Amino acid sequence: MSTQEARYFEDYVVGEVRDVGTISLSEAEIIDFAKKYDPQDFHTDPEKAAASHYGGLIASGWQTAAAVMRPLVDSFLDSASSLGSPGIDELRWLASVRPDDVLSIRVTVVDARRSNSKPDRGILRTYIEVSNQDDVMVMTLNAVNILTCRNP
C-alpha cells in the first residue's frame, strides 16, 4: 500500500469489502511449485494429469493460497501496521485452478477488536474469496491478522 496513506487497526471497518486484485499461474509456475512442494502427478505432469480425474494440470491449493498473499499485502494489509498472523480458522479449496486462470481476490472485514492483553494492537478477522474468470469460487479462507493501533 505504498501509494496510499498508512492503514492501522482503526482503519479496518467491519463490513468493509475490498477487491484486492488478480493473479494468474502459468503452467510452468504450477509445475515448478509442485515439483518443489506438492509433487503429485496432477500438479507436475501434464500427460498424467490429463489422464487423471481432473482431466488436466491443476495448481496445488497451497500455491493458490501463497499466491493470494501478494495482492493482500499490496492492496489490503499495510506494512506500517501488520504484525503477521497467528493463523487461519478455515481454508477451503472449492474448485481446481488451471494454468492461466485469472483469479480475483475479494476481502471482507468480518470482525475487528482490540486485544485485551496488548491494547496497542488489534485482531482483524477477514473472509477471503478467490474466484476464477468464470465467477467460480475456487478458494475461501477465514484469516486472522494482528495489526498495530494508530492510537494505543
Note down the domain range covering 136. 9-26+58-148
Q: For residue range 137-147, what is the model confidence (pLDDT) as tens digits? A: 999 999 999 99
- Spatial separation of the C-alpha atoms in residues 35 and 38, rounded to whole Å: 6
Tally the C-alpha atoms within 13 A of residue 113's C-alpha that lie toward its C-beta: 5
Task: Determine, yes or no, domain membership for 18.
Answer: yes
Task: Determine, yes or no, domain membership for 134.
Answer: yes
Cβ-based neighbour number of residue 43 at 10 Å: 23
Task: Determine, yes or no, domain membership for 34.
Answer: no
At 125, list the grid cell.
478477522
pLDDT confidence of residue 4: 59
- Spatial separation of the C-alpha atoms in residues 119 and 129, rounded to whole Å: 30
Q: For residue range 57-104, what is the model confidence (pLDDT) as tens digits? A: 999 999 999 999 999 999 999 988 999 999 999 999 999 999 999 999
pLDDT confidence of residue 151: 85
- Single pTM value for the model: 0.93
Task: Determine, yes or no, domain membership for 80.
Answer: yes
At 98, list the grid cell.
488451471
In percent, the amount of the chain with pLDDT more than 70 equals 97
Q: How many domains does the chain have?
A: 1
Give the CA radius of gyration of the chain.
17
pLDDT confidence of residue 132: 98
pLDDT confidence of residue 5: 76
> Could you tell me the pLDDT band of residue 2, with boundaries at 50, 70 and 90?
very low
> How many helices, marked H, and strands, marked E, lie in the chain?
4, 5
Comparing CA positions, the residue from 121, 122, 138 lying closest to residue 130 is: 138
Cβ-based neighbour number of residue 74 at 10 Å: 13
> Could you tell me the pLDDT band of residue 1, with boundaries at 50, 70 and 90?
very low
Task: Determine, yes or no, domain membership for 32.
Answer: no
- What are 140's strand-pairing partners? 92, 129
> Could you tell me the pLDDT band of residue 122, with boundaries at 50, 70 and 90?
very high
Whichever domain contains 110, its CATH number is: 3.10.129.10
